[in-house]
Structures are given as C-alpha cells and as structure tokens.
Amino acid sequence: MTTELSPATELPPTPDYDAWPIEADIETADVTPRLVTVRWSDGRVSRYHSIWLRENAGDETTVNPATRERILDLSRLPGWPEIAAAEIDDAGALCLTFTPEDIRLRFHPGWLRAHDYDNAEDPEAPLVPVTLWNGGPDAALDSLDASGLLDSEKGSAAEEAILAPALESVLGKGLVRLRNLPTQSGSLETIARRIGPIRPTNFGLLFDVKAKPNPDSNAYTSIALPPHTDLPTREYHPGLQMLHCLENSVEGGEAVMLDGFAVAEALRERDPEAFDTLTRVHWCYANTAKTTDYVWYSPMIRLDDRGALLEVRIADFLRGPLQAPFEDVEQAYAALMTLQQMLREPGFAIRFTYAPGDLVIFDNRRLLHARDAFEGTSGHRWLQGCYMERDEIRSRYRMVQRAGRVMRVGAR
Ligand SMILES: [Fe+2]
C-alpha cells in the first residue's frame, strides 16, 4: 500500500497540534532494518527504532487527522515494521519506506528532534524546576498585578502575559498571589476558568470561608487553623486550591503559607527515621460530617516511584483514629510530633494579610496553609475558594509554551 504524500516542499504533519521549530537540519540518515541513525547539522546523533517511528508517524493511517489521536494498532500490522529505505526530501523531512506494509512515511525534523529519546536527559522532568523555599520575616510570596485579566480576550497575548508568570510560580514554588482582581461574589469561577475546570466537592463549586452559624468545618469559624492541606480525606486530594479575598476588615486572621516539601526535606535531613516513618505508615484521614462520611488512609509524605516528593497530606483536625500495625504506633506518633514541631517554626512560614481582590493560588498537595484566629465581631473576613487539579495548570502552561513555539515557527 502506498499512501499519498504531502508535497515534498512542505513539511509533513506531526501527530499532535503543536508547532516544532527546526533547531537543526537532518544531514544524513543511516538505516538498518530496525534502526535509523540521524546525524543533525549541529553534530548531534539520534537513534530511533523502526517500531517507534512507525507508530509515531503523523499520516492518516496512523493518526486520525480530526482528533490527532492514534488509530494505528501495531499488533495488526503484517509484521514487525522495518525500514527498507530512507532519504531526506527537499523540505528537510525524513522519508522512510516501511516493510512489510510497503508504506512511505515522512517525519517532521522539528518533531523528531523534540522527541529524541536517545539523548533525552529526563523526559519526565517537571515543566518548571521545583524550587523549595523557606519563609521567615523577610519572605514574601510572588505577587502579580492581575487587574487586566478578566478584560483580556481568552488566549490573547494580554491574558498570557498575566497567566504565564503566575503558572510558572505555581509550578515552581507552589504558589502565587494575583492582586487587584474583582471582589464580586462568584467572580472566582470566571477567573479560575481562565486556567481550567474547577473540581466541585461536597462544599460546592465555590466555597465561602467565613465565620458562619452551624459550621461544618473549622474553616467556617473564627478560630486559628493549623498548617494543613485541604481534603486529605479524599483518595485523590485536590492538586490546587484558590482563595479569593472579597472582604477583610477584621483584626487578626493573618494568613500563613509553608512549603510542605521544604519542611519534608528538612525533616529528611534532621531525622531520617521520622521521615521514613511518615512515608510508610498509613494515617487515617476522616471528615465525618452530619450528611457525608469521607475517609482515606495514606502516608503523610508520599514519594513518587523515582523517590521525589509527590505530596504531603497534613491536617491534624482531619485525622481519624490511627489504625496502623501495633508495633508502628509509638514510632508513628513520635514522627508526627517531630513534624508538627517543625511546622510551628517561623523560619518555614510566609505570613501575609489578604486584601480584597487578592487571589492566592497554591498547590494543595505541597503547600500548607494556616490562619491566625480573628476577632469575629471586628469586621468581615470573607474568602471564596475552589479546587482544581494539577493537570489543569500543567495543561494551561503547556498551551502557553505551545503558543510561544507557534510564534517562533511563524517568524521563520
Ligand atoms: Fe483550608
């Protein structure tokens, strides 16, 4: 079978919606049946397996052009895809003939270079390097003027100029404060949707943090809240939280933020045994209200399968009865108290007072937030909040990066 090729003066489609600037040209392509060795104009050498190339072609036997999702099922090919011939065409694309299908497919050099798994240092590296931070009296959170956000067109350069640095702070440091936003009740929903969909919970799409009668959470009183992550009682607790200040005229109620990853790393350094215990023993997290009953068991500090910090799950007022193996119990409580003492160290905390129009966006599986008690009769303190997943920030940030690549390709 031979498929129709796009004209050799044009670069072929890629299996995605992205734009891939040409960083270097393909100079030569040496093939064996199952391997292509590409030599680039800047001297880099990249090897690609024939089967990898076959399934990552951008043509319509491989990818549905309407969705850019794969339609090829490798297991239905008449045999292992091998390469019979290779050439670099006039457009600079790599053109390969595969057997036993007898199909010629073209590959975009920018895309190939960007997906060079032979030379990739860490393909799973975070989009923005994770920067741990300490607090202390001189520490301040990244703050940005977002007054033009809601007037900007969606996807416009003006919107990206506000969102790009904000997303970068959230991805790298775990938080950002946007300032000078509207103070209308409900405007948080419109603001949040500029980034992505909101995750609703039993507290609503948006929740109001203010002292109220018959509270179903300590958050809805004027008492101090210790450093915590929200909803650790869920199997998958929300990756992001947004708190939007509509009113703040009370005395007290100062907000506190801590980098839970910095605290965890400090614990690993100071007391490796306590750190290990908190990554191992499952605690019970429970939010058993009058009409709902959420319970989940998890370690307090979780690492991913590469040993990097994945999340902290800390909320003393939402811990249920520990149900750990008998011999772990005292060790678990000792580690817990060591951690709790560290959480009170002023050197970890950033303190600030919310002003109306402030929106703090933070990684709820990394940052801990707390507040001082406030005098409920001295004025009003009203925050509206919502949750979102980390995926939404990452997706939005990738779109910002893609827009930058599209501009670079367009400028060529
Ligand atoms: Fe909270």
Mean pLDDT split into 10-residue runs, the chain, 412 residues:
59 93 96 98 98 97 94 97 97 97 97 96 91 92 95 92 96 98 97 97 93 76 88 97 94 90 98 98 93 96 94 96 97 98 96 96 97 75 96 96 85 60
**Pairing verdict, β 175-179 and 143-145:** parallel
The rounded Å distance from CA 260 to ligand 1 centre is: 14
Residue of 209, 155, 143, 210 whose CA lies nearest to 181: 143
- Please tell me the predicted confidence (pLDDT) of residue 412: 55
The rounded Å distance from CA 32 to ligand 1 centre is: 59
The rounded Å distance from CA 230 to ligand 1 centre is: 5
Distance linking the first and last C-alpha atoms of the chain: 35
- Please tell me the predicted confidence (pLDDT) of residue 1: 44
- Please tell me the predicted confidence (pLDDT) of residue 2: 44
- Cβ(310)–Cβ(303) below 8 Å: yes
CATH no., domain 26-123: 3.30.2020.30
**Pairing verdict, β 359-363 and 301-303:** unpaired
- Please tell me the predicted confidence (pLDDT) of residue 407: 83
- Cβ(19)–Cβ(402) below 8 Å: yes
Tell me which long-range contacts 24-32 makes (C-beta under 8 A, separation of at least 24): 24/109, 24/113, 25/92, 25/109, 26/88, 26/92, 26/94, 26/109, 26/112, 27/88, 28/88, 29/86, 29/87, 29/88, 29/94, 30/86, 31/83, 31/85, 31/86, 31/96, 32/83
**Interatomic CA distance for residues 51 and 33, integer angstroms:** 10
The rounded Å distance from CA 238 to ligand 1 centre is: 11
- Cβ(162)–Cβ(169) below 8 Å: no
Where do the structural domains in the chain lie, given as residue ranges? Answer: 26-123, 143-399
**Pairing verdict, β 283-288 and 349-352:** unpaired
The rounded Å distance from CA 392 to ligand 1 centre is: 20
- Please tell me the predicted confidence (pLDDT) of residue 7: 61
The rounded Å distance from CA 317 to ligand 1 centre is: 11
**Interatomic CA distance for residues 211 and 68, integer angstroms:** 49
The rounded Å distance from CA 215 to ligand 1 centre is: 14
The rounded Å distance from CA 150 to ligand 1 centre is: 26
155: left (phi over 0), alpha (psi -120 to 50) or beta: left
The rounded Å distance from CA 143 to ligand 1 centre is: 20
The rounded Å distance from CA 318 to ligand 1 centre is: 11
**Fold match between domain 26-123 and domain 143-399:** no
The rounded Å distance from CA 131 to ligand 1 centre is: 23
The rounded Å distance from CA 147 to ligand 1 centre is: 26
Q: Give the three-class secondary structure for 172.
A: helix
The rounded Å distance from CA 209 to ligand 1 centre is: 9
The rounded Å distance from CA 364 to ligand 1 centre is: 9
The rounded Å distance from CA 353 to ligand 1 centre is: 16
The rounded Å distance from CA 389 to ligand 1 centre is: 16
Q: 145 is written with which tokens?
A: 């003027």
Q: CB neighbours (10 Å) of residue 197?
A: 11
| Superfamily of chain region 143-399 | Clavaminate synthase-like (3.60.130.10)
The rounded Å distance from CA 186 to ligand 1 centre is: 19
**Interatomic CA distance for residues 307 and 276, integer angstroms:** 12
Q: 306 is written with which tokens?
A: 């590469």
The rounded Å distance from CA 29 to ligand 1 centre is: 57
- Using alpha carbons, list the distances in angstroms from residue 373 to 224, 243, 349: 4, 17, 16
pLDDT digits (tens, 9 = 90+) for 26-80: 999 999 999 999 999 999 999 999 999 999 999 999 999 999 999 999 999 999 9
**Interatomic CA distance for residues 286 and 21, integer angstroms:** 50
Q: Give the three-class secondary structure for 69.
A: strand
Q: 101 is written with which tokens?
A: 């299908």
The rounded Å distance from CA 2 to ligand 1 centre is: 60
